[in-house]
Amino acid sequence: MFRRLLIANRGEIACRIIRTVRRMGLHSIAVYSDADRDAMHVAMADEAYRLGPPPAAESYLSEAAILEAARQSGAQAVHPGYGFLSENAGFADACIEAGLIFVGPSATAIRRMGSKIESKRIAEAAGIPVVPGYNGVSQARSDLKAAAAELGYPLVIKADAGGGGRGMRVVRDAAAFDAALEGASREAKAAFGDGRVLLERYVSHPRHVEIQVFGDASGNLVHLFERDCSVQRRHQKVLEESPAPGLSDALRAGLGRAAVELAASIGYTGAGTVEFIVEGGGDAGAFYFLEMNTRLQVEHPVTEMVTGLDLVEWQLRVAAGEDLPLAQSQIRCRGHAIEARLYAENPRRNFLPSVGPLVHLSLPEGSAGIRVDTGVRTGDDVSRFYDPMIAKVVAHGDDRETALNRLERALGATEAVGVATNREFLAAIAAHPAFREGGMDTAFIDTHLEALTGHAAAPIVDALALAAFAELESRTAAPPRQPGDPHSPWDRIDAWRHFGRGRTRLRFRDGEKLVTVRAMTGEGHYMLGLPDRRIRVSGSVGADGAIRLLIDESRRIGGRVVADGDARHVLADGRERRLVLEDPDTAPSASEAGAGMLTAPLPATVTAVHVEAGLKVSRGQALIVLEAMKMEHVIAAPRDGTVARVHFRAGDQVEEGAELITFEER
């Protein structure tokens, strides 16, 4: 076994690999960009080396910089994690040429499976059914349009290289084909350096089921059961679970057999995932080969939870030349596991990524049946340069219901302030009756989007009580006393007054509504005058910031208030409400200037501009395309109007809030 491992990745996966490396007594070597200088994975590793500036192309995608770090550090092996260079055959070759062990399959296997076109041909040759489509060599627009017409609509355009939903478009009719092809090819080129695409028949309401496979250099191959990844948005996975609910034993066996046969046909070694589209779940269920990912998957923890195995340790041992630790007959599936991906994104704004510092982060680590994989801490930045994942929350139980209950509870205990997150959205999925019954497919989120994003904020009375109590307690915290009478009322900074207890007025903005709370201090309590009622509040603030309140001597609530400038983020009962503390002596703020202007919703790169000054446009028409956090974001016309001025060109960098287009209504 090699002793010194360089991890050519960042964030959550780098931290996860380091944990196994540390447990095995090996030496971990991290790499970082300037944006990650103080990142969690850098702090965890035994040593770390700078790669370059924040853009991935100049750091985590720089083969030369990574290989130089390996040379300087004396690394013997390189683990690519997932994403970045993990499925780059050229990088695998470069590692071998530099005398390093590449922790992954051979470059040949990566090349053959890295092309969706080639992998479908291999699957067909192995007798595995594939989704009908166009896998031809020609990428001429005319040939692709002709193939689309023959295949019929709806269809899917997919990037030949890469995955994760990037470079993928669903096309409903011929009129939308050209724009979809342009967008898919452009995104694929930007993400994977390869703009080639293929076409597939669009399978409506399918399930996405994948099989974890593992092989060694001796020719041993096993599968570690299946994962259901059907709950997706923008073709990216949101929740994953194992085993897949509702599949017949015959269908499970067929999927496992097909995955192993495909891997065997290319002499596969290491960890890989064979993905399938599944129609139906009973004995009559059919499946089609989708693609093979020649790396560790983001969702591998659910497999680890049900098998009790460490897949990273298996990767390292196989890479070192050892045989697989277990044969197929020795691998058992115990219980049920579900993973939820906690992202910095806003489900109510079409899942727009959110960037900035994590003012507060509390994850439910240590709970029964719960595992949390993360690469960030309180105070870290969610950068616009990389994937906005905050953590993976994984729940395990003896059965699916227990796992779901634990996941709901864990998500309710998760606290993240400073960026928008999808926490409540994930909790809504876990609680949804259709998901609870196992009735999900790849259209689940679109079908139930309104219910999943319509969650209520923390009740206003509770939010005001918690926010007011926290503010009043912070104001009455006594500073170190100077010499003098320790009992003098003149030393007090609470609401005491010479002629009796005083009153304090707090003003909070709740969205567009201004709410005034009038507080009077009593003996061990506060009387709070709200707009429509008075309540008596007493309680305490723990050392960890947790607040426990007794309201009107009859009801107890708990929560936390996180201050971020004037904002007060009230976290209570698994819900959040954002209040803004305003100076009671100033007038209410005016409406935000320029409301409705076409501005950048986040820092990004302009990848395409579809309009020019003077052009009349219709509501919903695409005007400009931004790229950030590995995804494209189309800025569309909010209503019919005329473009007065375009402020940026393709290739320009824009900051959040920058005016992109001056837009005039008709």
| Neighbouring-strand partners of residue 394 | 339, 371
- pLDDT on residue 235: 81
Is a pLDDT exceeding 70 seen at residue 318?
yes
- pLDDT on residue 283: 63
The pLDDT-based confidence of 324 (bands split at 50, 70, 90) is very high
Looking at per-residue pLDDT, the higher value among 200 and 391 belongs to 391
Looking at per-residue pLDDT, the higher value among 457 and 448 belongs to 448
Residues 119, 112 contacting (CB under 8 angstroms): yes
CA–CA separation, 318 vs 222, rounded Å? Answer: 13
* Strands 77-79 and 4-7, sheet pairing: parallel
Q: How far apart are the first and last CA of the chain?
A: 70
| Neighbouring-strand partners of residue 27 | 4
Is a pLDDT exceeding 70 seen at residue 484?
no
Looking at per-residue pLDDT, the higher value among 567 and 637 belongs to 567
Is a pLDDT exceeding 50 seen at residue 82?
yes
Is a pLDDT exceeding 90 seen at residue 131?
no
Active site residue 341: no
Q: What is the mean pLDDT of residues 157-184?
A: 87
Is a pLDDT exceeding 80 seen at residue 641?
yes
The pLDDT-based confidence of 636 (bands split at 50, 70, 90) is confident
Taking only the tens place, the pLDDT of each residue in 579-634 is 999 866 544 433 333 334 578 877 888 999 998 888 888 887 888 988 876 677 78
> By mean pLDDT, which of 122-131, 535-544, 581-590 is the weakest?
581-590
Tell me how far CA of residue 323 lies from CA of 48, 215, 339, 642, 652, in angstroms: 31, 8, 29, 66, 51
DSSP-derived secondary structure letter, 130: B
Q: What is the mean pLDDT of residues 133-161?
A: 90
> By mean pLDDT, which of 155-159, 164-168, 179-183 is the weakest?
164-168
The pLDDT-based confidence of 498 (bands split at 50, 70, 90) is very low
Residues 305, 393 contacting (CB under 8 angstroms): no
Tell me the whole-structure pTM to 2 decimals.
Answer: 0.82
Closest CA to 422 of 356, 365, 510, 340: 340
- pLDDT on residue 380: 95
Which distant-in-sequence residues (6+ apart) come within 8 Å of 518 by Cβ? 503, 504, 505, 506, 528, 529
SS3 category, 319: helix
- pLDDT on residue 619: 81
- pLDDT on residue 234: 81
CA–CA separation, 458 vs 570, rounded Å? Answer: 8
What percentage of the chain reaches a pLDDT higher than 90? 69
Q: Which of 211-215, 564-568, 654-658 has the highest mean pLDDT?
A: 211-215
Residues 566, 584 contacting (CB under 8 angstroms): no
The pLDDT-based confidence of 666 (bands split at 50, 70, 90) is low
Residues 364, 414 contacting (CB under 8 angstroms): yes
Is a pLDDT exceeding 70 seen at residue 20?
yes
Domains and CATH numbers, the chain: 4-103 (3.40.50.20), 132-201 (3.30.1490.20), 207-453 (3.30.470.20), 460-475+498-582 (3.30.700.30), 598-665 (2.40.50.100)
DSSP-derived secondary structure letter, 638: S
- pLDDT on residue 408: 96
Taking only the tens place, the pLDDT of each residue in 102-121 is 999 999 999 999 888 889 99
CA–CA separation, 159 vs 199, rounded Å? Answer: 9
Is a pLDDT exceeding 50 seen at residue 485?
no
- pLDDT on residue 497: 40
DSSP-derived secondary structure letter, 121: H
Kindly provide the b/e burial profile for residues 573-605, where b requires at least 16 CB atoms within 10 angstroms of the residue's own CB: ebbbbbbbbbeeeeeeeeeeeeeeebbbbbbbb
SS3 category, 150: helix
Q: How far is CA 648 from the centre of its chain?
A: 29
Burial class (CB in 10 A: 0-12, 13-18, 19+), 175: exposed
What percentage of the chain reaches a pLDDT higher than 70? 92
CA–CA separation, 588 vs 509, rounded Å? Answer: 9
Q: What is the mean pLDDT of residues 327-353?
A: 95
* Strands 155-159 and 496-497, sheet pairing: unpaired
Taking only the tens place, the pLDDT of each residue in 300-313 is 999 999 999 999 99
Is a pLDDT exceeding 90 seen at residue 657?
no
Q: How far is CA 143 from the centre of its chain?
A: 36
DSSP-derived secondary structure letter, 34: G
Is a pLDDT exceeding 70 seen at residue 226?
yes
Q: What is the mean pLDDT of residues 518-525?
A: 91
Which distant-in-sequence residues (6+ apart) come within 8 Å of 176 by Cβ? none
- pLDDT on residue 538: 96
SS3 category, 299: coil
Is a pLDDT exceeding 90 seen at residue 349?
no
DSSP-derived secondary structure letter, 75: -
DSSP-derived secondary structure letter, 381: E
Question: What is the overall mean pLDDT for the chain?
Answer: 89
Q: What is the mean pLDDT of residues 482-490?
A: 43
Please give the angle made by the CA atoms of 498, 504 and 506, to the nearest 5 degrees.
170
Residues 172, 181 contacting (CB under 8 angstroms): no
Q: What is the mean pLDDT of residues 4-26?
A: 98
- pLDDT on residue 190: 79
Is a pLDDT exceeding 70 seen at residue 502?
no
Catalytic residue among 169, 227, 295, 509: 295
Q: What is the mean pLDDT of residues 348-367?
A: 90
CA–CA separation, 471 vs 583, rounded Å? Answer: 13
